[in-house]
Chain A
Amino acid sequence: MAVGETQVESGAEPATKETETGWRNTLRKIKQDTTARWGLYVITIVLAITAYTLIDGNLSRLTFGAVSDFTMAETLPIFEHPERLPPPGEAETNLPPAFHADGTMSHPLGTDPNGRDYFTRIVYGAQVSVSVGIAATFLGLLGGTIIGAVAGYYGGWVDDVLMRAIETVYAIPPLILIIVFTVFVSGGSPDVMYAIVGVGIAFIPVFARIIRSEVLSVREMDYIEAARAAGVKDRDIILRHVIPNSFAPVLVYATLQIGVTILIVAGISFLGFGAQPPTPDWGEMLNTSHGYMHSNVWLSIWPGLAIMITIMGFNLFGDGLQDALDPRINE
């Protein structure tokens, strides 16, 4: 059989075809998508702030030991320490924001009832909200991937048992489940770490269901059957074909889920079962400010706005990602 010059090569197709994978294609589409781009901007800013505050806090601990409350925040003129209470009488409490007639530029968002700079606390609040959101989502994703992949690939009674268990957890509203878990497991003294684990567990069902349905649809693909027909081992089929191909939609979902997680964690902290004072956390700040609703309105506004903008960032990015990965829109 003569094999002629093949023509696919000859200039007709751009060189990118050689290497362009689904992922690269997706990235290109995200760059073109305004929604996704804006989401990306917001996420980048929020993540940068989180990273800064994390490094700041930990560096000072490394350098000066855990006891020291000295942080880079104090070395840089922009931030004061977010937790340290100024000595009574030294700082003005309940200052309104700078644009208000009574405000000052040194406290752009004013001060809280303890006289702490509210802007600093809002900035540091990103650390808890965002890291908890991401960590808890990751935990849920991990658990959900394992359970969902096993249930979806093996099917039969394995699937049945796992799915019934998942349904059970799913039946308890996440907020309730997380609070119950956090409070009981911590023995009555809730904290952020318990909340992360609680949220992670509460979201396993969500991810497990998504992964399972993805795996089920991938499992029906002919290339899985082709791999089986070729004698490829089950383990290799799962690792090389099933997981890579079912992961993309899950990633989108995870992005959107980070927003939900932040929302829920804020709610838990707002009720007082998450981050505890004096840790700066948006939900916790709203809890504190709840008592000052009549005296200092501003205290209730800033943390809520911060939560809203952060979640919006993740939602925008998730929506953009979804559009980029949706074959129906690609047509």
Chain B
Amino acid sequence: MSSEPLLRVENLKTQFFTDTGTVRAVDGISFEVYEGEIVGLVGESGAGKSVASMSLLRLVENPGEIVGGEVTYKGETIFGLEEGPDGELRKRDDMLSNEEMRDRIRGNEIAVIFQDPMESLNPVFTVGGQLREFIELNRDLSREKAREEAVDMLREVGIPDPEERYEEYPHQFSGGMRQRVLIAMALACEPNLIIADEPTTALDVTVEGQIIDLVDDLQEKYGTSFIWVTHDLGVVAEICDRVNVMYLGEIVEQAPIDELFYDTKHPYTDALLDSIPRPDRTVGELDPIEGVMPEAISPPSGCRFHPRCPDAREVCRRVHPENRVVDTTESAEPHRAACVKHDAFDVGYDESPPLEKEPQVTSEPDADTEAGVTGPGPGPGPGTGTGTGTGPGSSGGGGEGSE
């Protein structure tokens, strides 16, 4: 691992400005990606991991906007703000322009693999044509060269009979095969970093296994770095070198893979590990995390996990812990966690009385966040609206026509 990271993210903040308020989807996350490693970004749905990964490419869609922090890639500023003469924050001069992002970064330096292989390919173009277009664009190859490269890449990712299948359309491919095509797209552009956003979630286990193996092999061969976004701790354990655990827009724990599983420092990670059934051994009783993750529109005061945390004390309600080094591994890598129970935080956790909690066995409570915002601290506005699923489950999209 070289000392200079390939990608450095510092205090990145991305917010969505909606009618009902500002959603702090990503709220000050920092991490690095070094050359040749696979970094995991783990969390449940709503944790902000996908938004975070799209922010790295400056591809956040309206009404979302990156509002703070700094993203540096190979010394170039992908995003950065500075204070202008009138005290206003403005974009730094050395920040890459939109054209530079498009021509130099997206695709040829940082490529992505999306979650949904069924929707990510354009249904009316041939698979080969789409692959060829991206190669042509990002590697400055002629049409013929790009085509050859595309066929080679299809073979490389294990698509049988690539010459034939080059001419076929996405609907003629199975989900696993489409995901291979997306991987081929990412690799064919020869980027240094690939952001894989839940690339195996939509796939069956055996196909997932095939894909993970494929990525493992190819990563070794090409030395590409990966940011692997997922909710599945099994996949993380399988493939990642280092892991960032996200909860409600923040990174709560950051550690090398082995330490994360065997020397867990944050209660959320701990609870997550305890709540999943295991394929390799029979677990008698699952120990679920109480409640549901509150919405990012009005996060709890203090530590955002405190309402669901088994170790929560009074101080957790008041103090908002930043992600801090709490331990160092044998290989001198830092192990960070955002939990005040560690000595690195000296805020009087041990003396603080435990939080009184209501008995809430299995209901997914949504009110515990406001169970009592008694303490001072930067508490958000009143109550959180949680427990609501999505909008009125309208059958939707009427009209005619199938397809």
Chains A and B touch (C-beta atoms under 8 A apart): yes
B396 beta carbon closer than 8 Å to chain A: yes
Q: Which residues of chain B are near A221, meaning CB under 8 Å? A: 395
From B361, B362, B390, B394, name the one whose CB has the most chain A CB atoms within 10 angstroms: B394
| A331–B358 touching, CB < 8 Å | no
Q: How far is the CA of A4 from the CA of B399 in the complex (A)?
A: 45
Determine the interface band of chain A, counting residues with CB < 8 A from chain B: 35 or more
A18 beta carbon closer than 8 Å to chain B: no
| A214–B392 touching, CB < 8 Å | no
* Binary per-residue interface labels of chain B (59-70) against chain A in the complex, 1 for a CB within 8 Å, 0 otherwise: 000000000000
Q: How far is the CA of A249 from the CA of B394 in the complex (A)?
A: 10
Closest-by-CB residue of B relative to A245 is: B395
B331 beta carbon closer than 8 Å to chain A: no
Q: Which residues of chain A are near B394, meaning CB under 8 Å? A: 22, 248, 325, 327, 330
Q: Which residues of chain B are near A6, meaning CB under 8 Å? A: 363, 365
Within 8 A of A (CB), among B325-369: 358-363, 365-369
| A8–B367 touching, CB < 8 Å | yes
Q: Which residues of chain A are near B395, meaning CB under 8 Å? A: 214, 217-218, 221, 245-246, 249
Closest-by-CB residue of B relative to A327 is: B396
Within 8 A of A (CB), among B363-403: 363, 365-371, 383-388, 390-392, 394-400
Interface of B is mostly: loop
Of A13, A252, A253, A331, which one neighbours B391 at CB under 8 angstroms? A331
Determine the interface band of chain B, counting residues with CB < 8 A from chain A: 20 to 34
| B391–A213 touching, CB < 8 Å | no
Q: How far is the CA of A22 from the CA of B396 in the complex (A)?
A: 12
Shortest beta-carbon distance, B140 to chain A, in Å? 38
Within 8 A of B (CB), among A174-215: 209-210, 213-214
List the count of A-B residue pairs having beta carbons below 8 Å apart.
Answer: 94
Q: Which residues of chain B are near A11, meaning CB under 8 Å? A: 367, 370, 383
| A5–B358 touching, CB < 8 Å | yes
With A8-B366, A13-B388, A246-B395: A2-B400 Cβ-Cβ less than 8 Å: no
Closest-by-CB residue of B relative to A13 is: B385
A235 beta carbon closer than 8 Å to chain B: no
Within 8 A of A (CB), among B203-248: none
Shortest beta-carbon distance, B306 to chain A, in Å? 15
Q: How far is the CA of A42 from the CA of B398 in the complex (A)?
A: 26
A326 beta carbon closer than 8 Å to chain B: yes
Closest-by-CB residue of B relative to A217 is: B395
Shortest beta-carbon distance, A292 to chain B, in Å? 44
| A12–B387 touching, CB < 8 Å | yes
| B360–A25 touching, CB < 8 Å | no
| A7–B366 touching, CB < 8 Å | yes
Q: How far is the CA of A84 from the CA of B385 in the complex (A)?
A: 64
With A7-B358, A331-B391: A210-B367 Cβ-Cβ less than 8 Å: no
Q: Which residues of chain A are near B365, meaning CB under 8 Å? A: 6-8
| B398–A12 touching, CB < 8 Å | no
| A213–B386 touching, CB < 8 Å | no
Q: How far is the CA of A1 from the CA of B361 in the complex (A)?
A: 8
| A210–B400 touching, CB < 8 Å | yes
| B385–A22 touching, CB < 8 Å | no
| B398–A214 touching, CB < 8 Å | yes
Q: Which residues of chain A are near B370, meaning CB under 8 Å? A: 10-12
Of A10, A250, A327, which one neighbours B367 at CB under 8 angstroms? A10
Shortest beta-carbon distance, A281 to chain B, in Å? 33
On B, residues with C-beta under 8 Å from A are 291, 358-363, 365-371, 383-388, 390-392, 394-400
A sample of 22 inter-chain contacts (CB < 8 A) reads A4-B360, A4-B361, A5-B359, A6-B363, A7-B358, A8-B365, A10-B371, A11-B370, A12-B370, A12-B387, A13-B388, A17-B388, A22-B392, A22-B394, A210-B399, A213-B398, A246-B395, A249-B399, A250-B398, A326-B397, A328-B397, A330-B391
On A, residues with C-beta under 8 Å from B are 1-14, 17, 22, 25, 209-210, 213-214, 217-218, 221, 245-246, 248-250, 252-253, 325-328, 330-331
